Structure 1
Amino acid sequence: MEVTYNINDKTLEVTEEMKDAFAKDGYIIVRKLFENEELVKMKRNYEEGEDYHKFKFMVKDKDGNQSAQITWNFPGNDVFGMAARCEKLAGTCQQLLGGEVYHYHSKFVVKDPKTGGQRAWHQDYGYWYKNGCLFPDMMTVFIAIDPVNKGNGCLQVLQGSHRAGRVEHGQFGGEQGADIERVEELKKFCPLKFVEMDPGDALFFHCNLLHTSDINSSDGRRLAFLPAYNRKSNDPVIDSHHPRYTPLEMVPNNAVLECDNYTGMEGKGFLDMANLKTLKSQVQFNK
Structure 2
Amino acid sequence: MLLTYKDIEQYRRDGFLLVENVFSDKEIETMVSDIEGGGRTAASAMSVNDESGKKAKLAYWEELTDDIWSAASTSSRVVNNVRMLLGEEVSFFHGKVMMKEARTGGAWEWHQDYGYWYDQGFLFPHMISVFVAIDPATKLNGCLRVLKGSHKMGRLTHLQVGGQTATDPARIAAAEKRFETVYCEMKPGSALFFDCNLLHCSASNDSDHHRRSFIMCYSAWGNPQLSKDGNQLFREPCPAIEKRN
Q: TM-score range by the shorter chain?
A: over 0.9
Residue in 1 aligned with 2:235? 245
Residue in 1 aligned with 2:184? 195
Structure (1/2) with the larger strand percentage: 2
2:64 is matched by which residue type in structure 1?
Answer: P
- Deviation of 1:245 after TM superposition, in Å, equals 1.4
Q: Deviations over 1:220-277 (max 9, x none)?
A: 111100010001111202259xx7412322102xx0xx45xxxxxxxxxxxxxxxxxx
User: Does 2:46 align with 1:74?
Assistant: no
Residue in 1 aligned with 2:19? 30
Q: Deviations over 1:65-116 (max 9, x none)?
A: 0010000002222111111101111111111001111110000000011110
Q: Deviations over 1:118-140 (max 9, x none)?
A: 11100000010111111100010
2:82 is matched by which residue type in structure 1?
Answer: C
Residue in 1 aligned with 2:142? 153
2:140 is matched by which residue type in structure 1?
Answer: G
Superposition CA RMSD, Å: 1.8
TM-score (norm 1): 0.80
1:136 is matched by which residue type in structure 2?
Answer: P
Percentage of matched positions with identical amino acids: 36
- Mean Cα displacement is larger for which, 178-187 or 104-113? 178-187
Is contact 1:235-1:245 (8 Å) kept? no
- Deviation of 1:28 after TM superposition, in Å, equals 0.2
User: Does 2:222 align with 1:236?
Assistant: no
Q: Secondary structure at the match of 2:124?
A: coil
Is contact 2:132-2:190 (8 Å) kept? yes
TM-score (norm 2): 0.93
2:89 is matched by which residue type in structure 1?
Answer: E
Residue in 1 aligned with 2:111? 122
The equivalences for 1:101-140 within 5 A come to 101-140=90-129
Residue in 2 aligned with 1:285? none
- Deviation of 1:172 after TM superposition, in Å, equals 6.3
Which one of the candidate residues 8, 17, 42 is aligned to 2:31? 42
Q: Distance in 2 between matches of 1:184 and 1:174?
A: 21
Is contact 2:44-2:61 (8 Å) kept? no
Q: Deviations over 1:18-66 (max 9, x none)?
A: 1101110000000111121221222223333534212210001111100
Count of aligned positions:
242
Is contact 2:146-2:181 (8 Å) kept? yes
> Gaps (5+ residues) in structure 2?
none
